Amino acid sequence: MSPKKTTGQPPRPREPFIPPRGYPGPGGGQVANIDPPTMWRSTTVQACGLWPFAAGSGAPMSGVPLGQHLFTGATVCGDPLSWFTRSHYISNPSLFMLGMPGLGKSTLINRMLIGLAATGVVPLVLGDLKPDYADTVRALGGQVISIGRGVGGINVLDPGAMGAAALRIGGEGGRVLMAETHGRVLNMVAALVTIVRDRAVDDHEQSVLSAALHHLRERTPPGRQPLLPDLVKILAEGPDRVRAVTLDRGDETRYRDAVDPLHRSLLGVLDGPLGDTFAAETSTRIDLDSPAVCVDISRIGEADTQLTAAAMLATWSDGLGTVAASHALADAGLRPRRWFFTVLDELWRPLRAASGIVDRIDALTRLNRSLGLADAKITHTLKDAEALGTDADRVKARGFVERAGMVVCAGLPRQEMEDLGQVVGLSQREIELVSSWSSPPGWAAHGAREEPPGRGRFLIKVGGRPGIPIQVAITDTERRLHDTNKRWAENEPPVDPATEYIPDLSKLAEVDGSW
């Protein structure tokens, strides 16, 4: 064997091999997982010099910046209006949110509200129960209307903005809008009767109410709006137009038999817990030119379930009527086009007030796509629908979830997620993930405030697409404006929304129609 050749240079020492996860064994420092690199978003103008080291992501970027993807860290943007108008991800501009209390449902909606307001969309919070959104609306320079006993009321017979728009438009367009106004007023009066008697209004009573409202509108002098006491007088007088729909055939007894149950129910509205709020003139009308509107009904006590449900329905009717009036004026070329984003929080409270209320809510909100209106409905669980009195109401309440373009889930128990999966379509992994967010917080040491693991975490579902899990981190300004635990604060100075600064989100860079 020939001797091994040498080059005259010393051999190069072998470099030690370092495993990607560290050395195994005691003291080796091996880690189970490697944190992903930090991801940043920027426009093509800002990041062009980094090419080819920039990469795209599957997270949607159209709409209000919501938070980071829970697994990739990528920024996730979205809201029902942007995903309907710009991205065409959804066919209905609506959002339905479910989750246990205290996990940040209204905080996420509050962020959408601020972001959409920066793009010129008008937020409408119709029935703020806590209130969760009043300070934000004030900081945006919007209008806050208080409703409650001794605070303010709503005249449900007042056509409001729709009536004023019909008179301004005139002609055939004004007549059509006034006819729609009549239907909205009729629907609201029937809802009040439904709440008082705890059952739906009969079909012939709807006809009586419609005829009485037409007669009342014709005999009311210009410049004055009819009131509920005026409607009761019409039923007591029994004009020919009202008698004709009762088929009394000139018999006073037949007429009284037909209208007396409705008459008694309306008297119950006036003399019962609803009278002070709905029997007088509207205290403050919604301003069509306001950048944001919040109707604050937090002065109504928790035990006043009937008044709460009636106030929520009345504010929804008035707010959606304002939206219809704005679009009618825009169609006539009398004002610029505006889009709206309505927030219907604590949906379970009016649903449980009386049988048949779900029909009224469905009638008020079903046509949002044709109204240039996006909405967000918020409740706790699907069991809120299961608690309704009839099978028909339960099916209709589930329809709110089925028709929603976006379904957002905060932490929910596993059984709730299983039930929701039958409506929305959830994978087993998604059910396990959201169920883990419903766990209570740990036992914090030394009295420190420990947050629940699911706070600020949400799963966004759109049709059959895989869900998008996000983590929302709010800013200090959002935290001050949207503190849902104000009553538990320890001698902290109150926030003055008039002096609170909200960044001008409209200055953010826009790429491909996105934020």
Query: In the 8-state DSSP scheme, what is residue 511?
Result: B
Residue 11 has pLDDT above 50, yes or no: yes
b/e per residue, 348-367, with b = 16+ CB within 10 A?
bbbbebbbbbbbbbeebbee
Residue 204 has pLDDT above 50, yes or no: yes
Q: Which of 63, 66, 59, 95 is nearest to 407 (CA)?
A: 95
- The pLDDT score that the predictor gives to residue 2 is 54
Query: Which range has highest mean pLDDT (218-222, 371-375, 397-401)?
Result: 218-222
- The pLDDT score that the predictor gives to residue 292 is 94
- What pLDDT, in 10s, does the model give residues 34-60? 666 666 666 666 666 665 554 545 678
- Given pLDDT bands bounded at 50, 70 and 90, which one contains residue 197? confident
Cα–Cα distance for residue pair 383/169, rounded to 1 Å: 45
Q: At what angle do helices 203-219 and 228-237 cross, to 10 degrees?
A: 110
Cα–Cα distance for residue pair 376/96, rounded to 1 Å: 6
- Given pLDDT bands bounded at 50, 70 and 90, which one contains residue 507? very low
Residue 255 has pLDDT above 70, yes or no: yes
- The pLDDT score that the predictor gives to residue 496 is 57
Question: CB–CB of 357/192 below 8 Å?
Answer: no
- The pLDDT score that the predictor gives to residue 515 is 39
- The pLDDT score that the predictor gives to residue 509 is 36
Q: Which of 410, 453, 456, 415 is nearest to 434 (CA)?
A: 410
Q: What is the amino acid identity at position 297?
A: I
- The pLDDT score that the predictor gives to residue 364 is 56
Residue 504 has pLDDT above 70, yes or no: no
pLDDT more than 70, % of the chain: 78
- What pLDDT, in 10s, does the model give residues 292-319? 999 998 888 777 778 888 888 888 888 8
Question: CB–CB of 176/205 below 8 Å?
Answer: no
Mean pLDDT estimate for the chain: 81
Main-chain dihedrals φ then ψ at residue 286, nearest 5 degrees: -70, 135
- Given pLDDT bands bounded at 50, 70 and 90, which one contains residue 508? very low
Query: In the 8-state DSSP scheme, what is residue 161?
Result: H
Among 268-282, 386-400, 407-421, which is the least confidently predicted range?
A: 386-400
- The pLDDT score that the predictor gives to residue 57 is 53
In order, the DSSP letters of 379-416 are ES-THHHHTSSSHHHHHHHHHHHHH-SEEEE-S--HHH
- The pLDDT score that the predictor gives to residue 356 is 59
Cα–Cα distance for residue pair 139/502, rounded to 1 Å: 7
- The pLDDT score that the predictor gives to residue 510 is 40
Stretch 440-460: mean pLDDT, rounded? Answer: 74
For residue 249, the tally of other CB atoms under 10 A from its CB is 9
Stretch 436-445: mean pLDDT, rounded? Answer: 73
- What pLDDT, in 10s, does the model give residues 78-98? 999 999 988 889 988 889 898
Stretch 250-271: mean pLDDT, rounded? Answer: 90
Cis? peptide before 336, omega within 30° of 0 = no
- Given pLDDT bands bounded at 50, 70 and 90, which one contains residue 514? very low
Residue 123 has pLDDT above 90, yes or no: yes
Cα–Cα distance for residue pair 455/437, rounded to 1 Å: 8
- The pLDDT score that the predictor gives to residue 505 is 46
Query: Which range has highest mean pLDDT (230-244, 303-317, 371-385, 478-492)?
Result: 230-244
